Amino acid sequence: MIVVKGGVTAAKGFLANGIKAGMKRSGKKDLALLYSEAPAVAAGAFTSNKFQASPLKISKLHLKNKTHQAIIVNSGNANCANGKSGDRSALAMADYIAKGVCLAREEVLVASTGIIGRELPIRKIQDKIPELIVGLARDGGDYFSEAILTTDTVKKELSVKVRLGASTVTIGGACKGVGMVYPAMKVQRHATVLCFLTTDVAISKAMLEAALGEAMEESFNMASVDGDMSTNDTCFILANGMAVNKKIATKTGDYRKFTDALKFLAKELAKMLVRDGEGATKFVEIEVTGAKNKDDAVKIAKKVSTSNLLKCCIYGEDPNWGRVIAAAGASGSDFDADAVDVYLGGIKVLSNGSRVKNYDKDRVAASFKKSDISITVDLKSGKRAATAWTCDFSKEYVEINSEYST
């Protein structure tokens, strides 16, 4: 597997565009379209939130169709809590694209991100559909990645190539979301994380869903900026088969290779979100090892990654590891506190549940001055592990989020 340049249009047969439709007060690009030249099988993963935005309801219905060729996305408005009028607007977005490029509307998926509880300005979208479609291009991935952003400061895109038999398959992706980030995306059941993945692999819909499910659990679902789960989190993957590999229809070696490449891509994209987290000055990786079972490892990694106190001291470059153990102990996981070791920047500070006397405080302090910080919690009770990512909690985060809607 090799990493290559490009995002959603890196794989064969994908075109994209992103334009300004006037929904963002900033006047930046806010309407995006992704198009596959060949019918693609699709899978989607959606937020576990009980409140689900209208585009999620429509996309879930449309995913029942066998193939898909387009995804329309707006930023600046979540189209959430808008009742039936919101549902009609989401459906209209699909309809406009379907008519414009001659598809059935069920072949079009929809995603939205932005503020909750404001009427979607559907006329502004409708007026821009011709411009959006006409501009579709093989090099339009960049515009797409830009138009899906909200409070993000940089575009997030990446692609990988993987060899399957005699064929080379490309997987590309773009994502957004640097606030209200604590996704728990479930395939076909349940981000305002938005992630769009495209690939030219030939694969069955069932295998694509399985691969996406595996990738989500170890990537976006382990990322956190603020611990707030959105009503709009969505990840779509389109696979159009244009790589003409031997079609993946069961969990063969090719399935494993493809899924591992997809997992790598999804992890890298998820880490990009966290690095650009609202107000973030640090990137933090939390590794939990030695757990009896995966679930315990995941719970502890997630609890530590969402500790406000820990995130504040990381902002202050203060290696206050007491906050790591307080969070780990509050995770609801069962473990022997007297067996636990904790490492900051690779230096052991807690051994068997007790502070290490005379550890090198200068080296630990120096590790907290870096932009990337590593924290390891070793339970020493088993072989399971999990890794979560978060950023620090800064005054800028509070500033950004105290002024968002007004």
Site residues for a second copy, window 83-122 (CB under 8 A)?
Answer: 83-84, 86, 115-118
Closest approach, Cβ 388 to a second copy, in A, equals 16
Judge whether 9 counts as a catalytic residue.
no
Closest approach, Cβ 308 to a second copy, in A, equals 5
Q: Based on the shown chain and the rule CB under 8 A, indicate whether residue 346 belongs to the binding site for a second copy.
A: no
Please identify which residue in 52, 240, 259, 305 interacts with a second copy, judged by CB under 8 A: 52
Q: Based on the shown chain and the rule CB under 8 A, indicate whether residue 333 belongs to the binding site for a second copy.
A: yes
Please identify which residue in 151, 198, 199, 231 interacts with a second copy, judged by CB under 8 A: 231
Contacting residues for 304 by C-beta, under 8 A, at least 6 apart: 286, 288, 310, 324, 327, 328, 331, 375, 377, 388
C-beta of residue 72 within 8 angstroms of C-beta of residue 33:
yes
C-beta of residue 184 within 8 angstroms of C-beta of residue 226:
no
Q: Based on the shown chain and the rule CB under 8 A, indicate whether residue 393 belongs to the binding site for a second copy.
A: yes
Query: Contact region for a second copy (CB under 8 A) — 28-36, 98-106, 143-151, 312-320?
Result: 312-320
Q: Based on the shown chain and the rule CB under 8 A, indicate whether residue 350 belongs to the binding site for a second copy.
A: yes
Q: Which of residues 355-374 bind a second copy (CB under 8 A)?
A: 355
| H or E element, residue 231 | none
Please identify which residue in 226, 254, 276, 285 interacts with a second copy, judged by CB under 8 A: 226
CA 225 to chain centre: 11
The label of the residue with tokens 């291009």 reads 137
Nearest to 287 by CA among 379, 202, 387: 387
Query: Contact region for a second copy (CB under 8 A) — 130-138, 151-159, 164-172, 309-317?
Result: 309-317
Instruction: Render 116-130 in DSSP notation, one character per residue.
Output: SSS---HHHHHHHHH
Q: Name the 3-class secondary structure at 388.
A: strand
- From residue 22, alpha-carbon distances to 38, 115, 118, 166 in Å are 31, 14, 14, 47
Give dist(CA 227, CA 50) in Å, integer: 16
Around Cβ 187, how many Cβ atoms within 10 Å?
22
Catalytic residue (one of 47, 113, 151, 192) = 192
C-beta of residue 34 within 8 angstroms of C-beta of residue 14:
yes
- Tell me whether residue 70 or residue 328 sits nearer to a second copy (CB atom): 328
Query: Contact region for a second copy (CB under 8 A) — 75-83, 95-103, 210-218, 244-252?
Result: 75-83
Q: Based on the shown chain and the rule CB under 8 A, indicate whether residue 283 belongs to the binding site for a second copy.
A: no
Please identify which residue in 51, 104, 139, 369 interacts with a second copy, judged by CB under 8 A: 51
Closest approach, Cβ 145 to a second copy, in A, equals 24
Please identify which residue in 223, 327, 373, 388 interacts with a second copy, judged by CB under 8 A: 327
Please identify which residue in 64, 166, 362, 402 interacts with a second copy, judged by CB under 8 A: 402
Give the torsion sign (CA, 191, 149, 34, 251): negative
Q: Count interface residues toward a second copy (CB under 8 A).
A: 71
Nearest to 202 by CA among 237, 168, 240: 240
CA 394 to chain centre: 22
Contacting residues for 106 by C-beta, under 8 A, at least 6 apart: 61, 62, 64, 65
Please identify which residue in 330, 363, 369, 371 interacts with a second copy, judged by CB under 8 A: 330
Closest approach, Cβ 375 to a second copy, in A, equals 14
CA 319 to chain centre: 28
Please state the φ and ψ torsions of residue 398, each to the nearest 5 degrees: -60, -40
C-beta of residue 282 within 8 angstroms of C-beta of residue 392:
yes
Q: Which of residues 153-212 bind a second copy (CB under 8 A)?
A: 179-180, 182
Q: Based on the shown chain and the rule CB under 8 A, indicate whether residue 281 belongs to the binding site for a second copy.
A: no
Q: Based on the shown chain and the rule CB under 8 A, indicate whether residue 376 belongs to the binding site for a second copy.
A: no
* x-marked contacts with a second copy along 236-275 as a string, rule CB under 8 A: ----------------------------------------
Give dist(CA 44, CA 174) in Å, integer: 14
Pairing of strands 234-239, 194-199: parallel
Q: Based on the shown chain and the rule CB under 8 A, indicate whether residue 308 belongs to the binding site for a second copy.
A: yes
Closest approach, Cβ 383 to a second copy, in A, equals 20
Please identify which residue in 49, 188, 381, 387 interacts with a second copy, judged by CB under 8 A: 49
Please identify which residue in 328, 375, 377, 386 interacts with a second copy, judged by CB under 8 A: 328
Euclidean distance between the first and final Cα of the chain, in Å? 46
Which positions are catalytic? 192
